[in-house]
Amino acid sequence: MDVRSYSREIQLLIGDIQKNRGKDSTALIQACDELLAYGKGLKDDALIGYAYFSKGETYYLLNDASNFYSQMLSCMGPMEHVKEWGYVAMANNMLGIVSLNRGNAPFALDYFIKAISICEDYSLPDIEWMIHMNLGSLYLNIEEFQKSISHTEIAYRYLLDHKDIENYTESITATLLGMGRAYLMLDQDDKYLEIEKRLRVDCLPFLQEMDKIVIFCFFARVHQAISEEEARDYWIKMVNEHASTSMPILDVFDDFYDYLHMLLTIEKYDDFFNAYTILDDLTKRTAIKNLERKLLTLKIRYYRRVGQIEEYKIASVLYFELSEFMERENRLMVSNMIVMHNSYMELTQINRKVEEKNTFLQKRSETDPLTGMYNRLKLNEYSEEAFEKALINRTSIAVEILDIDFFKQFNDNYGHQKGDECIKFIANTLMKLAEYEGIFVARYGGDEFVVIYEGLSYEMVEAKANELREMIYEENVEHLFSLTDDRVTISQGICYGVPERDDSMFAYLQGADKMLYEVKQHSRNAIKISKASDL
């Protein structure tokens, strides 16, 4: 973005944003709002995207996850339109960090993959190293320690060759701590002791007091690991003195959590509760239930250790409630899904091109090869963003899952080629429906498809679903092996509502799937709609 091409007023606002970044959040957000008004008035996507990005970055530093999501997602479209790929990559990177902290590793991986692809396509090594560092954190969270070290080392080597970058010391500290945590888990004492030495000499003397806290946590763990209790207790004392409720929680949570776990293990209960109280306060501000639940596990272990049965029961009930919330918010994070995404990432880094340089490869990654419509990967990305927008704007969203009635009988009797043609027929009809504003369609898998309706009333959703069913029926595609008709028909299950904070896209998908199941059990060739509030 060439600032010189704008008026004096706009240049001053951009200057205020840059001056207040990381310092005065109130002044920065006010400047962003004024810049956003200018951008919308001028219909200038560069200004609009920059204002949204700067607000999102500020909310990230303030540990405000909800506002962060809304602003950062809003910046993506305008920035892509004006080809500001650096901002697009950084936005995806930060969205990946927050998704990981929300306990949604697959979505985090998707964001990191897209960010790395953009960096490779547009030669952005100054951003790419940060994404490798965050991929290291992701693999550390799922206990893939060697992969974690490999990605973090990429970032570390880049930094060693670019010591003139802004915030060099803070960045090199983060990479060293990432590798050090992995080496501690692998019990490689020669490695983590070398990391400690580098942190002590190259980082600690040059950091702000608040930035030293994560190093103190790591040093305490190192000296506990090598049974040097006096040194360990010194670093525990340093943590007590420097821990603060103004710490950026998303940057310190993992280091602090590991430190708390150590305190609990060695029965340093007073120090444990001092540190726990600070981290608990910070975590609650983010409204990220995954972090709250993870932290609560430590308190439950403490109550069990000291025999506080009533407190243990209360905390366990709260943990159960948080777990229920997480089940609604996220799909289960099973290891084979991580492996699948990892394989996709490694192939993508070699073959996939995003945006204009290789539109074909980008489209192939998002579309189903048989039908040409969006696939499940694109559905995952789109549905999460659509749900977040509906939640923020208090607008309606509906999710429909549909399948072809007695498709197995069709496939078995007419052959797989005809079966493929039948699936393509349904897909083509769905894509005609998607020409209407606010309707998104994707192939879910096999003979199942998903439709997302945004901002439509209950009656409009019902009308569009009926329109789809009639369009398919009126084409009169022969299906003599159906048990309900002599032509191809579909069954549809829909979940409709205006999302509340405790809702999730996964819950809406579950609701739609439940309605489809009821249709298939009782009638077929029919529609069943439920309201999310009734589930």
Q: How far apart are CA 199 and CA 214, in angstroms?
A: 11
Going by pLDDT thresholds of 50, 70 and 90, the confidence category of residue 346 is very low
| Predicted local confidence at residue 141, as pLDDT | 87
pLDDT at 514: 93
Angle between helix 65-81 and helix 45-61 axes, rounded to 10 deg: 160
Mean pLDDT of 315-336: 62
Domain 369-534: give its CATH architecture: 2-Layer Sandwich (3.30)
Q: What are the residue boundaries of the structural domains of the chain, listed by start?
A: 3-329, 369-534
What's the fold here for domain 3-329? 1.25.40
Query: pLDDT at residue 361 above 70?
Result: no
Q: Determine what percent of the chain is predicted with pLDDT higher than 90.
A: 59
pLDDT tens digits for range 520-534: 888 788 899 998 877
pLDDT band at 331; cut points 50, 70, 90: very low
| Euclidean distance between CA atoms 238 and 258, whole angstroms | 16
What was the pLDDT predicted at 338? 42
Predicted confidence (pLDDT) at residue 400 exceeds the cutoff of 90: yes
Work out whether strand 490-497 and strand 527-531 pair parallel, antiparallel, or are unpaired: parallel
Claim: this prediction has a pTM higher than 0.75: no
**pLDDT single digits (tens) 58-77:** 988 886 777 888 888 889 88
- Is the pLDDT assigned to residue 334 strictly greater than 50? no
d(CA 320, CA 305): 19
Query: Going along 437-477, which residue ranges are E strands?
Result: 439-445, 448-454
| Mean pLDDT, rounded, for 166-195 | 94
Nearest to 278 by CA among 304, 260, 305: 260
Per-residue pLDDT band at 511 (split at 50, 70, 90): very high
Q: State the DSSP string of 108-134.
A: HHHHHHHHHHHHHHTT-HHHHHHHHHH
The band of 364, judged by pLDDT with boundaries at 50, 70 and 90, is low
Angle, CA 71 vertex, CA 65 and CA 72 arms, to 5°: 85
Look at residues 469, 444, 464 and name the one whose alpha carbon lies nearest to residue 453: 464
- The per-residue pLDDT for range 432-472, each reduced to its tens digit, is 999 998 999 999 988 999 999 999 999 999 999 999 999 99
pLDDT value, residue 343: 39
CA dist 193 and 237 (Å) reads 20
Distance CA(354)–CA(368), nearest Å, equals: 17
3-state SS, 196-256, equals HHHHHHHHHHHCCHHHHHHHHHHHHHHHHHCCCHHHHHHHHHHHHHHCCCCCCHHHHHHHH
Here the tokens at position 290 are: 């995954």
Contact 42, 71 (CB under 8 A): no
Q: What are phi and psi of 27, to 5 degrees?
A: -65, -40
175 burial class (0-12, 13-18, 19+ CB within 10 angstroms)? buried
3-state secondary structure of 375: coil
Instruction: Give the lowest-confidence range in 101-110, 320-329, 331-340.
Output: 331-340
**How does the average pLDDT of the chain come out, rounded?**
87
What pLDDT is attached to residue 358?
46
Q: Do residues 504 and 329 lie in contact, with contact meaning Cβ atoms separated by under 8 Å?
A: yes
**How far apart (Å, rounded) are the C-alpha atoms in residues 263 and 265?**
5
CA distance 172 to 220: 20
The rounded distance, in Å, linking the Cα atoms of 492 and 463 is 13
Residue pair 183/195 in contact by the 8 Å Cβ criterion: yes
